[in-house]
C-alpha cells in the first residue's frame, strides 16, 4: 500500500500509529487493541522505530503482525539516528521482502543514557536518509513536520526550509507533530505552501490520555498546552482516569471536527497503544457523518 494513493482520494484518510509492545504483558494486550481499532476500518496503521536501532526486531515483528497476520495496510517507520547505511539496508531489505511499500523516515533522537555510540556513517538529518533511501529503493516515503517548529530548530521558517529539503529529496507526504490549537496547523500548512512544499500534510492528533503524560510529551515534543486546554486540565481531577480520558476525547473530537471542516486530507492518531480514545473519537465523527 502506497499511502500517497490514499491521499489522492477525496475522503479523509484515517491512520493510527503504534509502537512495538515492549513487555510480554503489553504484547498480550496489543492484539486486542489492534483488533478493536481495526473494526473502525482505518485506512492504514503505522509502526514506529526506536532510534539507534533499539528494538528494530520489535518494529519488524509488529509490522508483520499488522500487515501479514492481520492483513491491515501498514506503514513501517525508520529512524536514522546512530545507525549506519548497512544496517539501514538490512532493515529496509526485510521490509521490502515482506511487501511494505511505504516507509516513514525520521531522524530520531539520541537514545536515553550515555552508553550509546552512534555509527560514524549514520545520517545527520532525515533529509539525508530520505535521499539515500530514494536513491536505492522504490518505497513511497513520508517525513515529519512540526507546526510549532521542531524543538531544536532556530526558527519555524528554517524548519520549513528543511521540510522542503526532505520533500525535494523524495518525501511524498508529511505527518505533522500534534498540536492543541488547529490554527497552528492551518498557519503551518500556509507557510509550507508559500515555501513551495506541495505534498499532503496530515495533522497528528494526540488525545489527552493522562495529565502527566500530556505534560511530559508536550515538553519533549514542543507542542504547547494552550490556555484553553490548560483551563480544562486544571479543572479535572488528575487522579480520575475516566474523567481525564473523557476530557481528552471531547477536546480531540472538537479538534478533528475543526480540521475536517477545513478539508484536511486525513487524521493521524497517535494512539500510544491505547484504543478507547481513538475509537470513541472516530465513532463520534462517524455518527456525525464527518467521516
Ligand atoms: C509523525 C512523527 C513520527 C515520529 N516517529 C518516530 C519514531 O518512530 N522513532 C523515533 O525515534 N522518533 C520519531 N519521531 C520523533 C523524531 O524522530 C524527532 O522529532 C527528531 O528529533 C526529529 O526527527 P526529524 O525526522 O523531524 O528530523 P530532521 O528533519 O532531520 O530535523 C531535525 C532537526 O534538525 C534541523 N535540520 C534538518 N535538516 C537540517 C540540515 N540539513 N541542516 C541543519 N539543520 C537541519 C531541523 O530544523 C530540526 O530542528 C516522530 C515524529 C513525528 C512528528
Q: Would the pLDDT of 112 be above 80?
A: no
Report the alpha-carbon distance of residue 44 to residue 67 in Å, rounded. 10
Least confident of 69-83, 110-124, 205-219: 110-124
* Whether the CB of 51 sits within 6 Å of ligand 1: yes
Question: Nearest residue CA, atom 20 of ligand 1?
Answer: 108
Is the separation of the CB atoms in 126 and 156 below 8 Å?
no
SS3 label, residue 43? coil
Q: Give the mean pLDDT of 46-57.
A: 88
* Whether the CB of 152 sits within 6 Å of ligand 1: yes
Distance 51 CA to ligand 1 centre (A): 11
CATH 3.20.20.220, applies to 3-287: yes
- Average pLDDT of the chain is 95
pLDDT band at 29 (very low <50, low <70, confident <90, very high): very high
Is the separation of the CB atoms in 282 and 291 below 8 Å?
yes
**Which tens digits make up the pLDDT trace of 83-95?**
999 999 999 999 9
Question: Nearest residue CA, atom 3 of ligand 1?
Answer: 144
Is the separation of the CB atoms in 40 and 283 below 8 Å?
yes
* Whether the CB of 126 sits within 6 Å of ligand 1: yes
* Whether the CB of 98 sits within 6 Å of ligand 1: no
Q: Give the mean pLDDT of 207-222.
A: 94
Q: What is the pLDDT of residue 69?
A: 96
* All structural domains of the chain with their residue ranges: 3-287
Here the cell at position 207 is 488525545
17 flagged as catalytic: yes
Q: Would the pLDDT of 54 be above 80?
A: no
* Whether the CB of 223 sits within 6 Å of ligand 1: no
Report the alpha-carbon distance of residue 209 to residue 253 in Å, rounded. 14
SS3 label, residue 59? helix
**Which tens digits make up the pLDDT trace of 229-267?**
999 999 999 999 999 999 999 999 999 999 999 999 999
| Angle formed by the axes of helices 126-136 and 85-98, nearest 10° | 50
Q: Would the pLDDT of 115 be above 80?
A: no
Distance 204 CA to ligand 1 centre (A): 15
Which residue is catalytic, options 9, 17, 90, 148? 17
Q: What is the pLDDT of residue 52?
A: 81
pLDDT band at 114 (very low <50, low <70, confident <90, very high): low
pLDDT band at 173 (very low <50, low <70, confident <90, very high): very high
Question: Nearest residue CA, atom 10 of ligand 1?
Answer: 108
Amino acid at each position: 500500500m502506497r499511502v500517497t494513493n490514499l491521499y489522492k482520494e477525496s475522503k479523509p484518510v484515517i491512520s493510527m500509529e503504534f509502537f512495538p509492545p515492549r513487555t510480554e504483558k503489553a504484547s498480550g494486550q496489543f492484539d486486542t487493541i489492534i483488533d478493536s481499532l481495526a473494526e473502525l476500518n482505518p485506512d492504514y496503521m503505522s509502526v514506529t522505530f526506536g532510534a539507534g536501532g533499539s528494538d528494530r526486531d520489535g518494529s519488524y515483528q509488529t509490522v508483520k503482525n499488522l500487515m501479514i497476520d492481520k492483513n491491515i495496510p501498514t506503514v513501517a517507520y525508520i529512524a536514522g539516528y546512530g545507525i549506519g547505511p548497512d544496517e539501514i539496508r538490512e532493515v529496509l531489505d526485510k521490509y521490502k521482502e515482506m511487501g511494505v511499500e511505504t516507509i516513514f523516515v525520521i531522524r530520531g533522537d539520541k537514545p536515553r543514557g550515555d552508553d550509546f555510540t552512534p555509527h560514524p556513517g549514520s545520517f545527520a538529518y532525515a533529509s539525508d536518509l530520505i535521499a539515500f533511501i530514494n536513491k536505492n529503493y522504490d518505497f513511497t516515503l513520508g517525513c515529519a513536520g512540526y507546526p510549532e517548529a521542531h524543538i531544536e530548530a532556530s526558527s519555524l521558517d528554517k524548519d520549513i526550509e528543511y521540510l522542503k529539503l526532505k520533500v525535494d529529496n523524495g518525501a511524498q507526504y508529511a505527518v505533522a507533530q500534534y498540536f492543541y490549537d488547529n490554527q497552528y496547523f492551518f498557519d503551518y500548512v500556509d507557510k509550507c505552501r508559500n515555501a513551495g512544499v506541495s505534498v499532503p500534510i496530515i495533522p497528528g492528533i494526540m488525545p489527552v490520555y493522562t495529565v502527566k503524560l500530556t505534560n511530559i510529551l508536550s515538553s519533549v515534543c514542543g507542542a504547547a498546552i494552550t490556555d484553553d486546554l490548560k483551563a480544562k486540565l486544571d479543572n479535572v481531577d488528575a487522579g480520575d482516569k475516566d474523567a481525564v480520558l473523557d476530557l481528552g476525547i471531547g477536546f480531540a473530537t472538537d479538534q478533528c471536527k475543526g480540521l475536517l471542516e477545513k478539508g484536511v486530507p486525513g487524521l493521524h492518531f497517535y494512539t500510544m497503544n491505547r484504543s478507547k480514545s481513538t475509537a470513541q473519537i472516530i465513532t463520534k465523527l462517524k455518527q456525525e457523518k464527518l467521516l
